[in-house]
Chains A and B, each alone.
Chain A
Amino acid sequence: MNGFANLQWTNGVMIMVGCVLLYLGIKKNMEPLLLIPIGFGAILVNIPLAGMMEPEGLFRYFYEAGVLTEIFPCLIFVGIGAMTDFGPLLENPRILLLGGAGQFGIFLTLLLALLLGFTQLEAVAVGVIGACDGPTAIYVTSKYAPHLLGAVSVAAYCYMAMVPIIQPPIMRALTSVEERKIVMTYKKKSISRSAKVLFPITVTLVTCLIAPMGTPLMGMLMLGNLLRESGVADRLVKASQNEIANIVTLLLGISIGATMAGPVFLKPQTLMVLGLGLLAISLDTAAGIFLAKLMKILSGGKINPLIGAAGISAFPMSARVVQAEGQKANRKNYLLMHAMGANTGGQIGSVLAASVMLSLLQGMGII
């Protein structure tokens, strides 16, 4: 009774996949906080006879306690909210609409997934990769298509890390040189502390009353932000940003890796999920740029369409990509703060899109 005698080819392939994820995380520094525990978890779960995901196995406890109960992604959202400064968004609220356009890929990919034979709830889980937001993707998938959790999570986190590779060609293809050169000036506006404190409270009330199924996600994101902006809960802010976020990230990564057992993960469906995930993020980028082009026309040429690409939730990477592309076109252009506004808008937009989808599914009697 040893592992070698019971090792199947699917286990062997997944151990190698785990090693690739470790390489990407360690050597290439791609989302290492997630890819290292995911990769090592994938290796461990594919050791035959170890029983890591069997009833009473170590990974089974993490998975049932944190993933099936939705606790892990919600706790990570508290940390994200505590780390996010919505100031650039509050200075220029119209930018929030780019955060909505940056979620179009979710729905368009959902349609395509249905056409390719995924079930309705599987298509929802695949589409939500386009939210470019790990916790949201994990929340939706673990609840409604848990057998796809490994593929969706790996796709979501890998593609988030690859945003600097995925987005620039799309940005250049959809904008002209003249458009990329448009200079957007930035003048910092003061936002009152009261506005910053009331923002998370009012956003929670508005969004959760309209789309109640998103309350766990939006509520936790805004709780984290409220702790930050209140200025009186420094210990909780630091704990949310550090200890809680780090511990949960570790356990979440292990739990995702635990779903990558060979016989479960190695299916044609997994490759389709990976391909559709890439499409979702590409469509998000394109839709954001098209809306920014429309805003450029309506503003009389003051908006640089590049900032539309920052409407996805990959914060702050996407904003930095926009800044870099803007600088390549025109060294005098400093798009970072405008892109940061769009990027934080994308964080709200991604959670909101998932909330609207889940509320619709509930209204349709599907969940």
Chain B
Amino acid sequence: MTNLEFGLTLTVVGISGTMFILFLITLVIDALNKFFPPGAKGKGE
């Protein structure tokens, strides 16, 4: 693999992979906030 191919692969897959995983984390946070709302009995802050 040439340096350019290496760099482009890392850039494209790296950026898209990072953004995709962060998007998954936003879904996880939404799920946590939905299933564990504040003020629920025994689970509130």
Contact = CB atoms under 8 A, between A and B. Distances in A.
**A complexed with B:** yes
A194 B43 contact: yes
Contact of B21 (A114, A192, A206, A361): A206
Given A192-B44, A198-B32, A108 B21 contact: no
A202 B29 CA distance: 9
A110 B3 CA distance: 10
Nearest to A103: B18
Interface string B3-38: 110111111011101110111111011101100111
Interface residues of A, number: 47
A39 to B, nearest CB: 33
A193 interface: yes
Do most interface residues of chain A lie in helix, strand or loop, or is the interface mixed? helix
Majority-rule SS of B interface residues = helix
B28 A203 contact: yes
Contact of A93 (B26, B36, B40, B45): B26
Contact of B10 (A89, A110, A192): A110
A110 B13 CA distance: 13
B1 A352 contact: no
Contacts of A198: 32, 36
A343 B8 CA distance: 27
Interface in A60-112: 89-90, 93-94, 96-97, 99-101, 103-104, 106-108, 110-111
A13 B37 CA distance: 59
A288 B39 CA distance: 35
A348 B10 contact: no
Given A110-B7, A114-B4, A195 B32 contact: yes
A5 interface: no
A90 B17 contact: no
A90 B18 contact: no
A349 B22 contact: yes
B26 A97 contact: yes
A360 B13 CA distance: 8
A199 interface: yes
A207 B26 contact: no
Contacts of B44: 190, 192-193
A192 B22 contact: no
A352 B18 contact: yes
A106 to B, nearest CB: 8
A111 B15 CA distance: 13
A253 B39 CA distance: 45
Contacts of A107: 10-11, 14-15
Contacts of A111: 7-8, 11
Given A202-B28, A356-B18, 17 more contacts: A90-B33, A93-B25, A93-B29, A114-B6, A123-B3, A124-B10, A192-B45, A193-B44, A194-B32, A194-B36, A199-B32, A207-B25, A210-B17, A210-B24, A352-B21, A353-B18, A356-B14
Interface of B: 1, 3-4, 6-11, 13-15, 17-19, 21-26, 28-30, 32-33, 36-40, 43-45
The 5 closest A-B pairs by CB, nearest first: A190-B38, A194-B36, A93-B29, A93-B26, A107-B11
